[in-house]
Amino acid sequence: MKKIALITGIAGQDGTYLAEHLQPLPYKIVGTVRRMTPEIRHLIDSIDSDIELLETPELSASITQEIIRQYQPDELYNLAGQSSVGRSWNETTETLILNGQSIVYWLEAIRRFCPQTRFLQASSSEIFGLGSEHALSETSLIAPINPYGLAKSMAHHVVGKYREWFGLFLCNAIMFNHESPRRSTSFVSRKITMGVARIALGLQDQLPLGNLDVVRDWGFAGDYVSALWKMLQIQNPEDLVIGSGRAYSLHDFVRLAFEVIGKDWKKFVIQDPELFRPADVIRVQANPAKAKAVLGWRPTVQFRDLVRMMVEHDMQQVSLEIRDDSTNTPPQGPSDSEGLLR
C-alpha cells in the first residue's frame, strides 16, 4: 500500500526535486500550489501525471483541516512560503504570515485529525542571524536579523514546542543555501549564472551585483531533498542542519561562473550600492555532523560542479530563447537584417 506524501509548495525548486525523489518510491503524492496554471500543471505532469494538485491561494485553519482530514498524509513536507530574504524587507507582513504563522494551521490540523503524520518544516540558516566565525550547528544561537529569518525562527520554535507538548513526529530541517538551475532568477545565484550566459552569447555586457564579500555554505537542492526524506524515515524526530560544511564567498561564485565561459569576471561585474541589503549576514557555514551521523547523508555535488551545472543550463536556455525569437521574428528589410547581425 502506498504512503501518502503531501508537499506544500510543490511547484518550487525544492518541491519539484522532492517530487522527483519520491516518484519511484511507493508514494501517492499530493501537492499544494498557491495558484494553478497550465504551466504548473505541465511542470508537475513532467514528473508524474498522477500527482494531485490542490490550489490554496490562502491558508486558514478550515482549509488545512479539510486537507488533513481528507488525505490523512503519512508525511507532510512544508516547503511553501515566501522564499526570498531580499523580498522580505518589502513584504514583511506577508513573509511573517506565510513563513511563520501559517505553520500553526498545519500542526493544529495534524494534532486534531491525523496525529500519526510525520511533518517536516523547511527551516533556514537565516534563523542564526549574523552567524559565527565557527560552523553553525543545531545548538547555535537563534538570533535572526531580517524578516525572513524572523519568520523562519517563529516556525522553528513552534515545531519544537508542538513536538514537546503533544508528542508529534515533527522535524526542522535547517537548510543552508541550496541552489540549482531551477532557482528563480530573483536569487543572486541564478542572477549570476543567467547573466554570465547572456554575456557569453553577447546579449549583455555588464553584471551588476551587491556585496561580493558575503560567505555562504552552498549546496545542490537535489541533494538536500534526499536529506528531507531521510529525516522522516528515522525512528525519532530530530532537528538537523543540512549543509555542505564548506563556505565560499559570492566572489568565488562569480569567478567560477566566468571561468566556465573563459572570461575574466573583473571586466563585466560592477557593484551596485542599491543591491546591498539593509542588514546582511557576512559569513554562514554549516556543521552537518549530526545529519551525517543520524541520516548517513552527504552531499554529492561539489560547489564548483554546482556553478558549472547552473551556467551550462542557462547557456542552453538563453540559446533556445534566441532561436525561438529569431523563428518568431517577422521578415525584416535589408538594413534591419544587417543590424541584427552586428
Cell readout for 77 is 513536507
Annotation marks residue 75 as catalytic: no
Residue of 17, 27, 77, 148 marked active site? 148
Residue of 126, 140, 224, 244 marked active site? 126
Annotation marks residue 137 as catalytic: no
The span from the CA of 239 to the CA of 123, in Å, is 9
The span from the CA of 286 to the CA of 177, in Å, is 10
How many helices (DSSP H) and strands (DSSP E) are in the chain? 13, 13
- Residues 124, 175: contact at Cβ < 8 Å? yes
Cα distances (Å, whole numbers) of residue 123 to 99, 150, 174: 9, 11, 5
Residue of 102, 123, 124, 180 marked active site? 124
Cα distances (Å, whole numbers) of residue 285 to 232, 251, 277: 24, 16, 19
Q: Under 8 Å CB-to-CB from 66, ≥6 apart: which residues?
A: none
- Residues 299, 223: contact at Cβ < 8 Å? yes
Annotation marks residue 224 as catalytic: no
Beta bridge partners of 123: 174
CA angle 36, 228, 148 (to 5 degrees): 65
Q: Return the closest-CA partner of residue 237 out of 315, 334, 328, 121.
A: 121
* Residue 35 neighbours by CB distance under 10 Å: 9
Cα distances (Å, whole numbers) of residue 337 to 29, 321, 334: 51, 18, 5
Report CA 69 to chain centroid distance, whole Å. Answer: 28
**Residues taking part in catalysis:** 124, 126, 148
